[in-house]
Chains A and B, each alone.
Chain A
């Protein structure tokens, strides 16, 4: 049943809203990878069984992840006309209590974390749940949530990622509909340019500019690709975006394809994300059924479809030319640029490659306008960024804040400082390509330029917190070991240089290092940065360089001993 008219669209929204806010109680269980792993699946199965056995009139729905990972498993209960209540740290044994409470029109207060009375999904639709349960704090009153500004994560954990109707109910695909039926591709492109959206994969290149360059290339065929490789250990924002709100990514790509003038898109997903692959495949099929992907989208003249390509375990395939080599059935060995991807990319054709989160920003920009978007964030760093706050921090989870927020706010106000009452010593941002930043620099604002100035990068958004007991030389060694194992081996500074850096660090950690070794460590690191062929080698020594700069005492102590 394809959607080919405004009436059809409105009708589908109505159907979706009936599912999102039925006349009966609705229970959801967070079933993204982490929630499922720590008991969510068992809870869902148990609830399902009990509801069937008792013949209860309750809607049981799987949702994605709301981002408060430490509190998983998370279950929500919504009675018609009453607020959506979030229960946290639910155990399988709690299911009876939950059903008892729901049957009596209530919720188990001892497991309640907070409640949501109304929720603006930022696509023109606010879902009003209702008021009640004065005993339960409001969502905004929970510091972890209240200090965030959710834009990309607006739907995650609330809607069923396997049901396109719920996505449409909260305004999903309304930006695509608006653009395809009422805007010229140039207008869509201009909005993205004016929004100042910068690539969320780490490079921070203006997305609109890349789109314009690709659009202006003369070619019969062009491609857009979504980089879903997310290889940085410690980063899982893209995984959540794909598992919990896959249609948001598809909508972003439809808009991009329309603006650039492209018929074929690809999403490259790493093999280690089986649930994301499954959810996206399912979402693409559903979109095709509704005529939202494929020929003549929404009954217009515009056709576009998406294919999924899967990785095979190589961090280097996050690099653009290696990613494309991988799709073409070659090993992930980067090749030098020029030519740029926009000149010659996939199969030699002009290609625009953007990160998952970059695409996810587009629908909300088109729906609300670039003026709205530029009110969020900082000058030249507009919008929000989702970060994964992990490691030795109290509140582990996904944190979305405007760019320009300080590290301190993220680590202490949202994250509540070190876990188990320990002092926070440093954070590592940007994954293996980034640097380790000491606590005394936490008033640094999180934006592309400020982070570069202190020796690290934004990267894809992973923030790993390290406490006072962390050995920073061991951390440097960990990262070099990682990079050595992931090096493609094409160029000698990365292939051999990193190997020898590792041998040096091992020697230093074993107490056999010398002062000369510290000099070699720095000099070799600098050569690797300056002479490597691709971004992997160029940034792999950053953890060594930053720990040498900020934690030199730890190296010297090891050398002295």
Chain B
């Protein structure tokens, strides 16, 4: 990670309240994951033990130590979405992206396709319960999702149906 970018991020947090999570969040958004060097640099710059940073990054769901694919597909598994069929959405996406069935819920961490095009993960609730079931691709939210409508959504991001 570019040290200048990190310094710039740190400079925005002069108050200790919310600083660590805020900085880590910006690193996650800027690099699309938390690169290991960024933690080493951050530990040195803030005089915080690396073990504390590692603890934070592995505790909070928002951070990923693994690089994500080009497009991030997040399925909401909140209560309203569950009641409206989120499980079927997740299962269909695993099929369309040719990922092992059940892998997302089992590993509880983002799963990336072999060609690195898509990362699939679950979220606990976006708060868009009225348009359940909901999925998000990058920064775009899709409501009233149906298994049949998923190919069209994925195609917007360069996915193509594989002919078996």
Indicate yes or no for A touching B, C-beta below 8 A: yes
Point out residues on A near B: beta carbons under 8 Å.
33-34, 36-38, 69-70, 72, 230-236, 239, 266, 268, 271-274, 307-315, 326-332, 346-347, 388, 390-392, 396-397, 428, 431-432, 462, 464, 466, 470, 478-479, 482, 485-486, 488
B141 touches A313 (CB 8 A): no
Q: How far is the CB of A96 from chain B (nearest CB, A)?
A: 24
Other A-B contacts than A327-B21, A482-B124, A485-B124, 10 sampled, CB-CB below 8 A, are: A33-B127, A233-B81, A233-B82, A235-B127, A272-B124, A272-B125, A307-B15, A312-B24, A330-B52, A462-B79
Q: How far is the CB of A366 from chain B (nearest CB, A)?
A: 27
B111 within 8 A of A: no
Q: Which residues of chain B come closer than 8 Å to A331, judged between CB atoms?
A: 55-56, 59-60
Residue in A36, A331, A347 with the greatest tally of chain B CB atoms within 10 Å: A331
B159 within 8 A of A: no
B21 touches A312 (CB 8 A): yes
1/0 contact trace for B1-31 toward A, CB 8 Å?
Answer: 0000000000000011111111011000000
B72 within 8 A of A: no
A to B CB contacts below 8 Å, 21 in the list: A69-B130, A72-B130, A72-B131, A236-B127, A273-B127, A307-B18, A309-B21, A310-B18, A311-B62, A312-B56, A312-B63, A327-B18, A328-B17, A329-B20, A332-B59, A346-B17, A392-B83, A462-B79, A464-B83, A478-B82, A482-B77
B17 touches A312 (CB 8 A): no
Q: How far is the CB of A509 from chain B (nearest CB, A)?
A: 13
1/0 contact trace for B55-70 toward A, CB 8 Å?
Answer: 1100111110000000
B142 within 8 A of A: yes
Q: Which residues of chain B come closer than 8 Å to A332, judged between CB atoms?
A: 59-60
Q: Which residues of chain A come closer than 8 Å to B130, judged between CB atoms?
A: 34, 69-70, 72, 236, 388, 390, 396-397
B128 within 8 A of A: yes
B108 within 8 A of A: yes
B80 within 8 A of A: yes
The residue that B21 contacts in the complex, of A37, A310, A478, A488, with Cβ under 8 A, is A310
Q: Which residues of chain A come closer than 8 Å to B126, judged between CB atoms?
A: 33, 272
Q: Which residue of B lies closest to A331 (CB)?
A: B59
How many residues of chain B get a CB closer than 8 Å to chain A's CBs? 45
Q: Which residues of chain B come closer than 8 Å to A397, judged between CB atoms?
A: 130
Q: Which residues of chain A come closer than 8 Å to B81, judged between CB atoms?
A: 233
Q: How far is the CB of B79 from chain A (nearest CB, A)?
A: 4
Residue in A36, A266, A330, A470 with the greatest tally of chain B CB atoms within 10 Å: A330
A313 touches B62 (CB 8 A): yes
The residue that A34 contacts in the complex, of B16, B55, B61, B143, with Cβ under 8 A, is B143
- Report the separation of the CA atoms of residues A392 and B139 in the bound assembly, to the nearest whole angstrom: 27
Q: Which residue of A lies closest to B46 (CB)?
A: A329
- Report the separation of the CA atoms of residues A312 and B126 in the bound assembly, to the nearest whole angstrom: 13
Q: Which residues of chain A come closer than 8 Å to B123, judged between CB atoms?
A: 272
A391 touches B80 (CB 8 A): yes
B132 within 8 A of A: yes
1/0 contact trace for B82-99 toward A, CB 8 Å?
Answer: 111000000000000000
B124 touches A231 (CB 8 A): yes
Residue in B25, B55, B79, B81 with the greatest tally of chain A CB atoms within 10 Å: B79
B124 touches A233 (CB 8 A): yes
- Report the separation of the CA atoms of residues A38 and B134 in the bound assembly, to the nearest whole angstrom: 11
Point out residues on B near A: beta carbons under 8 Å.
15-22, 24-25, 48, 52, 55-56, 59-63, 77-84, 108, 123-132, 134, 139-144
Q: How far is the CB of A18 from chain B (nearest CB, A)?
A: 33
- Report the separation of the CA atoms of residues A331 and B62 in the bound assembly, to the nearest whole angstrom: 13
Q: Which residues of chain A come closer than 8 Å to B18, judged between CB atoms?
A: 266, 268, 307-310, 327
The residue that B79 contacts in the complex, of A311, A313, A391, with Cβ under 8 A, is A391
The answer to whether residues A234 and B21 also contact, given A314-B59, A478-B79, A486-B124 and a CB cut-off of 8 A, is no
B17 touches A309 (CB 8 A): yes
A37 touches B142 (CB 8 A): yes
Q: Which residues of chain A come closer than 8 Å to B83, judged between CB atoms?
A: 391-392, 464, 466, 470
The residue that A234 contacts in the complex, of B15, B48, B125, B142, with Cβ under 8 A, is B125
A311 touches B21 (CB 8 A): yes
Q: How far is the CB of A419 from chain B (nearest CB, A)?
A: 9
> Shortest 3 CB-CB distances between A and B: which pairs?
A309-B18, A69-B130, A233-B78
B131 touches A37 (CB 8 A): yes
- Report the separation of the CA atoms of residues A33 and B129 in the bound assembly, to the nearest whole angstrom: 10
Q: Which residues of chain A come closer than 8 Å to B134, judged between CB atoms?
A: 37
The residue that A431 contacts in the complex, of B60, B79, B108, B141, with Cβ under 8 A, is B79
B78 touches A271 (CB 8 A): no
- Report the separation of the CA atoms of residues A392 and B18 in the bound assembly, to the nearest whole angstrom: 38
The answer to whether residues A391 and B84 also contact, given A233-B79, A313-B61 and a CB cut-off of 8 A, is yes
- Report the separation of the CA atoms of residues A328 and B52 in the bound assembly, to the nearest whole angstrom: 12
- Report the separation of the CA atoms of residues A314 and B108 in the bound assembly, to the nearest whole angstrom: 13
B131 touches A34 (CB 8 A): yes
B127 touches A307 (CB 8 A): no
Q: Which residues of chain B come closer than 8 Å to A485, judged between CB atoms?
A: 108, 124
B124 touches A234 (CB 8 A): no
- Report the separation of the CA atoms of residues A431 and B78 in the bound assembly, to the nearest whole angstrom: 10
Q: Which residues of chain B come closer than 8 Å to A312, judged between CB atoms?
A: 21, 24-25, 56, 60-63
Q: How far is the CB of B43 from chain A (nearest CB, A)?
A: 12
Q: Which residues of chain A come closer than 8 Å to B20, judged between CB atoms?
A: 329
Q: How far is the CB of B102 from chain A (nearest CB, A)?
A: 12
The residue that A464 contacts in the complex, of B15, B80, B127, with Cβ under 8 A, is B80
- Report the separation of the CA atoms of residues A482 and B123 in the bound assembly, to the nearest whole angstrom: 11
Q: Which residues of chain A come closer than 8 Å to B21, judged between CB atoms?
A: 309-312, 326-327, 329
B79 touches A38 (CB 8 A): no
- Report the separation of the CA atoms of residues A272 and B61 in the bound assembly, to the nearest whole angstrom: 11
Q: Which residue of A lies closest to B55 (CB)?
A: A331
Q: How far is the CB of A411 from chain B (nearest CB, A)?
A: 14
- Report the separation of the CA atoms of residues A271 and B77 in the bound assembly, to the nearest whole angstrom: 16
- Report the separation of the CA atoms of residues A271 and B144 in the bound assembly, to the nearest whole angstrom: 23
- Report the separation of the CA atoms of residues A115 and B52 in the bound assembly, to the nearest whole angstrom: 56
Q: Which residues of chain A come closer than 8 Å to B17, judged between CB atoms?
A: 266, 307, 309, 327-328, 346-347
- Report the separation of the CA atoms of residues A498 and B81 in the bound assembly, to the nearest whole angstrom: 22
Q: Which residues of chain B come closer than 8 Å to A315, judged between CB atoms?
A: 124
- Report the separation of the CA atoms of residues A331 and B134 in the bound assembly, to the nearest whole angstrom: 29
Residue in B52, B82, B83 with the greatest tally of chain A CB atoms within 10 Å: B83
